[in-house]
Chain A
Amino acid sequence: MRQELDSDLGIKIGLEVHCQITSLRTKLFCSCPSNYRDYEPNSVICEICMGLPGSLPRLNAKVIESALKIALALNCEIPPVTNFFRKNYFYPDTPKNFQITQYDKAGGVPIAHNGFLDSWQGRVRIRRIQIEEDPGKLSYDGNIVTSPYALVDYNRAGIALTEIVTEPDLKNPRHAREFLFKLRSILEHIGVSDGSLEGAIRADANISLAGGKRVEIKNVSSFKEVDRALNFEITRQKRLPGGVMETRHWDEVRRVTVTLRVKEEEEGYRYFPEPDLSPVTVSRDLIDRLKAIMPELPDQRRARFVNEFKVSDEVAKIITSEKAMADFFEEVILLQYSPKIIGGWLAVDIPGYLKRRGLDFKEIGINPSHLAELAKELADGKINDNVAKSILMKILPVGESPRKYLEIENEMDEPSLREIVTRVFARNSGAVEEARHDPRVIDFLIGQGMKETRGRADHALLRKLISEKLSQESRSNQPKP
C-alpha cells in the first residue's frame, strides 16, 4: 500500500498565533503589572481588567510600537489609522463578557495586514495582525469534559496580546511547526515576546483536507502539541471524510481532539466599534523611526553567520532559530574564534542533548566561556573531536568548566600516548611482526591503541607514534652485519 503524501490530501493549515507582548510592564488597558506568573491567582487585578461597572480601558500606548515592530518584521502593510472593536461572547474567563480586540470588517482596521513570512517550505501569507486583551485562565480537574468544576484566575486577564493570523498556506504539520519556530525567533529578536515564558506564545490552528470542512483546534499549549494535534486531526478527518465545520479542543493528556462547539463563525460575535477607545493614528514618522531601529532579524543573522563565520547554511539556520542560541554562539566566538566547531556543537550535539532531556536552550547550565575553553583545546589539537564531544556531554548537565576533564585528557598527550603504544606492542607481538610486512595491520594496532585510550587518543598522532615505533624496532631488530 502506498503511503499517502501530504500533498495528495490537499491539507491546508492556517494558524492564529497569540503572542503576549511580554516586554510591556503593565497590562493592555490598566496599570496592573504584566508579570502575572509571579503572583498568587487573582491577585494582580483591578477594576479595569476585572471590568467592574463603570471602569474604562485606557490604552497602553507602548503596545502600538511593539505591534508595529512585529508588522514590519512580517512585511505587513500598516494603515495610517487603526481602531478597536468589541467581540461579544459569554465565557467565564472574560470579565466583561466581551473582548476588546481589532477587526477587519464593518469599518474595523487592525494595526497591520497583508504580510508574509518566508519559510523553507514556501511563503506563508500573513492575513492580519491585531492587538487584543488576553482573557483569564481556566483550570480544570482533569479535562474540560469531565471536570466537575472550573477555576478562574483573572491575573492574565487584560495582558496585551497580538494575534497573528496566517492564510491557510501551511502544507503539513511540520510546516506549521517550522513556521512557529521561525516566528518565535523573530519575536524574540525584536524583543517583544519572550517565548520561553509559559503560555506567552500560543497557537490555534485550523485545518482542512481537500473536500472536507474547516476545523479549528483550540487549547494547543506548545509547538510540540501543534504538531501532535494537527496529525491527530489529519488522521481523524481521513477516516471521516466530509465532516462538519466545528471548533475542537485539544486534550493534551489523552492526545485527542474533542468537539467544543459546532459552527461558531465570527458573525456570532456581534463585533462593533469600542466606543471607549479613540482610533489611534500611526504616523509615517513613527514607522520610519521603528524601521531605523529595527534589530537584525533571524534571516539576516543567518546570512551573516554564513558569510562572516563560514558556517553552513543549515547550521546557521538552526542556531538562529532561537535568539538565545544565536546570542550564545556569538558570545563564544568572541572568546574563541572557532565558528565551525562551536556551530557544530550548537546545531547538532547540544540540541540532541536538550531533546533527550526535554530541556529548553535557556536551561543549559554552561556559559559561553565554558564552551570557548573546550573549543580552544580542540582547535589547538590538544584533544580530538570525540574527546571534545564527550567532555561537552559531561559539562552540559552540571554547567561547569571543562578544565577538570581536560586535565584527565591531558594524560593522553604525546608522552602518555607513547606509553600506550609500548603497551599495545607488548601485548600484540604477533601483529607487530605482521605489520612490518603488511601495512594494513597498522590499522589493527591503531584500533588497539584507541581501545586502550577509550577513544580519547588523537587518531593521527597515534598512527604517527605507531609507525615510528615500528621503524625504530625494525632497525634495532636488524641482524648485525
Chain B
Amino acid sequence: MFDEIRNKVALNAYITVSKDQARVQAEKADPKRDARLTSVAIAVKDNISTAGIRTTCGSKLLEDYVPTYDAGVVSQIVDEGAIVVGKTNMDEFGMGSSTEFSAFGPTRNPYDESRVPGGSSGGSAAAVAAGIADVALGSDTGGSIRCPASFCGLVGLKPTYGLVSRFGLVAYGNSLEQIGPITKTVRETALLLDCITQKDPRDATSVGKGKAQYIEELDADIDGIRIGIPSDFFGPGTDGRVTKSVWKTIHALEEEGALVEETQVKSLKYSLPAYYIIAMSEASSNLARFDGLRYGLQDKKGARDWSSLFIRDRSDGFGSEVKRRIIMGTFALSAGYIDEFYLKAQRVRTIIRSEFEKLFKRFDALIGPTMPTLPFKVGEKTSDPLAMYMTDIDTVPANMAGLPAISVPCGSADSLPIGLQIMAPPFREDIIFKIGSMVEKISSWRSS
C-alpha cells in the first residue's frame, strides 16, 4: 500500500502518511480477535484527531500540530483492527467543495487529473478511488463526504446528526457536521458505519445506534418502498446529463417495486443561504481558538502584545477562503445583524426541519442528484466563491435537518461519475442501505 501511495503522489491525496504508526497498529492487531476491520487500510481526513500523527485540517496554521488524543471514531476503528495509513487532504478546515483550498495544494480527481475530486473530503475520496486506501473517513458539514464521493464514483454517507461521535473532529460547523465513511461499495459503507456508531460519552450530542446492524439491511427487497423525488433537486443549475442519469436509475427502482412520486421541497431555495450563515457563524467561533498561543503556528518575531500576536498568527496561518468565512460569520453574529442573519437562518432551519418531517410522513426516502454538475476543472471556480457555494445546493438540506444522506454512483458521462443522493428520516440509515444497495445493483457504474 505504501508503495502505491508513493506512485500516486501526484494526486496529492494524503497530507501525512503514517507508515510507522501503521506498522505499530498492524503488529498490535490480534488476528484471533473477532474484529470487523482487521488489516483494513483506512485513510482518515486530516481534521479527525489522531494521537501522535499530525492533524493539520489542511491549514498552515496547524502544519505542526500533533494531537495528544485519538478521536472517538479513530479509537473505534483501531479497536476493530483497522490500520490508519495516513491523513488525507482537504479544503482548509472543511471550507470548500473541491479540495483546492488546502495549504498543501489541491487534490486531483483520479478519473481525470485535470479535474477536482470534490470536497472538502477530496483526499479521502481520491485515495479510495485510486486504490491507495481500502476505505476512508471523511466529514460532512454541508456535503463534504457526498460531494467527493459523487465526483470520484464512490459511496459516501453523511450519518444522522448524533449517530457518530464528533469527539476529536476539529469543528467547522458543529451543529451540522458528522463523520462518515467513503468507500467503493454500499456494503463497505454499512460495515464501516457499523464500526463507528458506538455512543461516545465524550460527545454530548452522540446518541449511538444501539444494536442495529446496517450490514444486514443490504439485500432487502424494496417492493412497496415509497420514494419521493423533489423536483427542486433538479434546479436550473443541474447538468442535463446528471438529470438523465438520476432519472434513469429512479425508473429502474420503480421496476424493482418502489413507489415513486414527484414532490417538492419548498424551503430548498432558502436552505443554501441559511446553511452558509449558520456554518460561517459557528466557524467564526470554532476557529477563534487558533491564535498560536498554545499550539499551532506562532509568530516568532516577537509581537508587542497578545492582540497583535493573535492578529499576526491568524493573518499568516489562515487561507483566504477561511478568512472570508470567519469574517462573514463574525458579521452574521454581530449586534445589529444577528436578527437579520444568524437568527433568521435558524428560523429557516426550523422550517426546513418541519418540512422534511412532513415529507417523511408520505415517503420512506427522498432521491435526487448529489451534485448538480460533473466534476469541474481545477481552478474553474476558485475565483468565484458564489459558484463554488452553489454546488452544495442539494447536499446542505440533510445537514440543516440532521438527516442521513448517501451518495451512490448511478452512472457516468464522458467517463466521469455521477452520484445519486438518498435521504431518509433521522436514524433510518437502514432504509438508505436498502435502496442504496439496489441502486448499486441496477446502475451501470462500476467503480474501477
Contact = CB atoms under 8 A, between A and B. Distances in A.
Given A58-B204, A278-B204, A52 B288 contact: no
A143 to B, nearest CB: 15
A92 B293 contact: yes
A90 B342 CA distance: 21
B167 A56 contact: yes
A150 B335 CA distance: 31
B333 A270 contact: yes
Contacts of B290: 53
Interface of A: 47, 50-59, 86, 88, 90-92, 95-98, 106, 150, 152, 265, 267-268, 270-272, 275-278
B68 A47 contact: yes
Contacts of A270: 284-285, 330, 333-335, 338
10 contacts: A53-B57, A53-B65, A54-B67, A56-B167, A56-B204, A57-B204, A58-B202, A59-B204, A270-B335, A276-B205
A53 B289 contact: yes
Contacts of B67: 47, 52-54
Given A57-B204, A275-B175, 5 more contacts: A53-B57, A88-B285, A88-B333, A270-B284, A272-B281
A90 B294 contact: no
Contacts of A278: 204-205
A369 B282 CA distance: 61
* Chain A to chain B: the 3 pairs with minimum beta-carbon distance, closest first: A267-B335, A97-B288, A275-B175
B435 interface: no
B97 interface: no
Given A54-B67, A59-B204, A96-B289, A275 B306 contact: no
B62 A90 contact: no
Contacts of B167: 54-56
Interface of B: 47-49, 55, 57, 62, 65, 67-69, 71, 166-171, 174-175, 201-205, 281-282, 284-285, 288-291, 293-295, 306-307, 310, 330, 333-336, 338, 342-343
Nearest to A86: B285
A53 B49 contact: yes
Contacts of B310: 90
Nearest to B171: A54
B168 to A, nearest CB: 4
A270 B288 CA distance: 12
A50 B201 contact: no
Nearest to A265: B335
Contacts of A97: 288-289, 291
Main secondary structure on chain B at its contact with chain A?
Answer: loop
Contacts of A276: 171, 174, 203-205
Nearest to B334: A270
Contacts of B334: 267, 270
Interface of A is mostly: loop
B252 to A, nearest CB: 39
Contact of A106 (B294, B306, B307, B343): B343
B269 to A, nearest CB: 24
A145 B307 CA distance: 15
Given A56-B204, A270-B285, A92 B306 contact: yes
Contact of A54 (B49, B285, B330, B342): B49
Contacts of B288: 88, 90, 96-98
B162 to A, nearest CB: 10
A91 B291 CA distance: 10
A276 B65 CA distance: 23
Contacts of B335: 265, 267-268, 270
A275 B205 CA distance: 9
Nearest to A154: B294
A86 B291 CA distance: 18
Contacts of B68: 47, 52
Nearest to B342: A272
A475 B199 CA distance: 103
Given A92-B306, A272-B342, A50 B294 contact: yes
Given A53-B62, A54-B170, A106-B343, A277 B204 contact: yes
B202 A56 contact: yes
Contacts of B175: 275
Contacts of A271: 333
A54 B71 contact: yes
Contacts of A88: 284-285, 288, 333
Contacts of B204: 56-59, 276-278
A464 to B, nearest CB: 78
Best-surrounded residue of B65, B168, B285 (most CB of chain A within 10 A): B285
Contact of A275 (B170, B174, B330, B338): B174
A56 B289 CA distance: 13
Contacts of A57: 204
A270 B57 CA distance: 25
Nearest to A91: B306
Contacts of B166: 56
A425 to B, nearest CB: 82
Nearest to A89: B288
A423 B333 CA distance: 90
B169 A95 contact: no
A358 B188 CA distance: 72
Nearest to A48: B202
A223 to B, nearest CB: 30
A52 B295 contact: yes
B289 to A, nearest CB: 5
Residue from the set B55, B202, B281 with the largest chain A CB neighbour count within 10 Å = B202
Nearest to B310: A90
B189 to A, nearest CB: 23
A92 B289 CA distance: 10
B307 to A, nearest CB: 7
A393 B32 CA distance: 77
A309 to B, nearest CB: 49
A272 B333 contact: yes
Contacts of A47: 67-69
- Most chain A CB neighbours (cut-off 10 Å) among B295, B310, B333, B334: B333
A474 B330 CA distance: 102
A303 B282 CA distance: 52
